[in-house]
Amino acid sequence: MAQNNNTKKDTAWFAGGCFWGVQYYFRNVPGVLSTRVGYMGGTAQHPTYEQVCTGTTGHLETLEVVFDPEKVSYEDLAKLFFEIHDPTQSNGQGPDIGRQYLSAVFYKDEKQKKTIEKLVDILRLHGLDVVTQVREASTFWPAENYHQDYYTKTGGNPYCHFRVKRKWK
- 49 beta partners: none
Residues annotated as catalytic are 18
Domain ranges of the chain: 10-154
Number of H helices, E strands in the chain: 5, 8
pLDDT reported for residue 66? 98
Q: How far apart, in whole angstroms, are the C-alpha atoms of residue 169 and residue 167?
A: 6
pLDDT reported for residue 53? 94
The answer to whether the beta carbons of residues 57 and 51 sit under 8 Å apart is yes
Quick check: pTM over 0.75?
yes
pLDDT reported for residue 4? 59
Q: How far is CA 88 from CA 62, 68, 107, 109, 163, in A?
A: 18, 29, 19, 24, 15
From the candidate CATH numbers 3.30.565.10, 3.30.360.10, 3.40.50.2300, 3.30.1060.10, the one assigned to the domain spanning 10-154: 3.30.1060.10
pLDDT reported for residue 158? 86
pLDDT reported for residue 18? 94
pLDDT reported for residue 7? 82
pLDDT reported for residue 157? 86
- Residues near 69 by Cβ (< 8 Å), separated by ≥ 6? 8, 9, 10, 31
Q: What is the pLDDT of residues 38-61, one digit of tens each?
A: 999 999 999 999 999 999 999 999
Write down how long the chain is: 169
pLDDT reported for residue 54? 93
pLDDT reported for residue 3? 52
The answer to whether the beta carbons of residues 16 and 85 sit under 8 Å apart is yes
All residue ranges of the chain with pLDDT < 50 are 1
Closest by Cα among 132, 9, 1, 130 to 64: 9
The answer to whether the beta carbons of residues 85 and 133 sit under 8 Å apart is no
